[in-house]
Amino acid sequence: MIGTELLDRVADVGAAGWAVLVAAPLVGSFIGVVVRRLPEGRPIICARSRCEYCGAALRMGDLVPLFSWLAARGRCRYCGHPLGWFYPGIELSAFAIALIALAADDGKRVWLDCFFGWWLLALGWIDIRRWLLPDALTLPLIVAGLAAAAAFDPERLTDRALGAALGYLSLRTVALAYRVLRGREGLGHGDAKLLAASGAWVGSMALPQVVLGAAVSALLAAACLRLAGVRLGARSALPFGPFLALATWLIWLLGPLFA
Ligand SMILES: [Zn+2]
């Protein structure tokens, strides 16, 4: 059973594993701040958190991930306005990423898996909310991928640098072709930079699988939305970033499906 296996893995993860699990909701909370503030150019650190409805300054006790939200039953403690699922959703997602990383790997590699997964979570979530993949997140992720290769996997550094270059160029070529053929933008510039980051982490050989996995999961999501009664016309589309992010992280964790 995958469930019991996961529990066994989690039971003997040791101190590093527990540290990841404890850190995850806190990191998720921080990712929530990044997702809301970064696209608007608002400061991310050194700015007090306030209720977005009544402006009340939040104290430490209001900012404990998940627990504060549960204790106040999903409402602001000061004005009673419902807070929605955004913060608990992103905190639980960060926790799920840590659990999956612990099930797939151990030791130092779990922290690297989580770092990468949490970063991609921020990018994907911003793309869903704002249809945007900020350079401030995609470009450092390219550098981080190459730095991780240099530190832990030096013999693959060349392949991962090649992956970054090919990732960028391939999506730019597709985007230009689309613009010439259809007369409008299909893929954003941000998608090309995200695929460059993807190549910097998984290497050039895995890139076709990342694109294929992202395209298949995007089509599945579109089909599910259609079944749920949401109309997607020829001119509307889904952001591609979340699917690229998901496919990249799974291939990073599990390795390419066919080598
Ligand atoms: Zn309030």
- pLDDT on residue 35: 96
**pLDDT tens readout for residues 173-232:** 988 888 888 887 777 889 999 999 999 999 999 999 999 999 999 999 999 988 988 876
| Statement: residue 45 has pLDDT above 90 | no
Residue 187 near residue 175 (C-beta atoms within 8 A): yes
Q: Name the residue type at position 6.
A: L
59 CA distance to ligand 1 middle (Å): 12
Average pLDDT, the chain: 90
Q: How far apart are CA 111 and CA 144, in angstroms?
A: 13
| Statement: residue 68 has pLDDT above 80 | yes
8-state DSSP, 56? P
Of all residues in the chain, what percent carry a pLDDT higher than 90? 65
Maximum mean pLDDT: which of 64-68, 98-102, 143-147: 143-147
Secondary-structure percent of the chain, ordered helix, strand, coil, rounded to 5: 70, 0, 25
133 CA distance to ligand 1 middle (Å): 29
Q: What is the mean pLDDT of residues 27-52?
A: 89
Tokens of 124: 């994907």
List the single range of 7-21, 155-169, 210-224 with lowest mean pLDDT.
Answer: 7-21
- pLDDT on residue 7: 67
What does the angle CA 33 – CA 39 – CA 41 come to, to the nearest 5 degrees? 85
**pLDDT tens readout for residues 114-131:** 999 999 999 999 999 999
- pLDDT on residue 2: 61
Q: Which residues have beta carbons under 5 A from ligand 1 (an ion)?
A: 51, 53-54, 76, 78-79
- pLDDT on residue 259: 59
- pLDDT on residue 257: 74
Q: What is the mean pLDDT of residues 93-122?
A: 93
What does the angle CA 138 – CA 148 – CA 107 come to, to the nearest 5 degrees? 120
| Number of Cβ within a 10 Å radius of residue 150 | 13
- pLDDT on residue 52: 85
194 CA distance to ligand 1 middle (Å): 36
57 CA distance to ligand 1 middle (Å): 9
- pLDDT on residue 242: 97
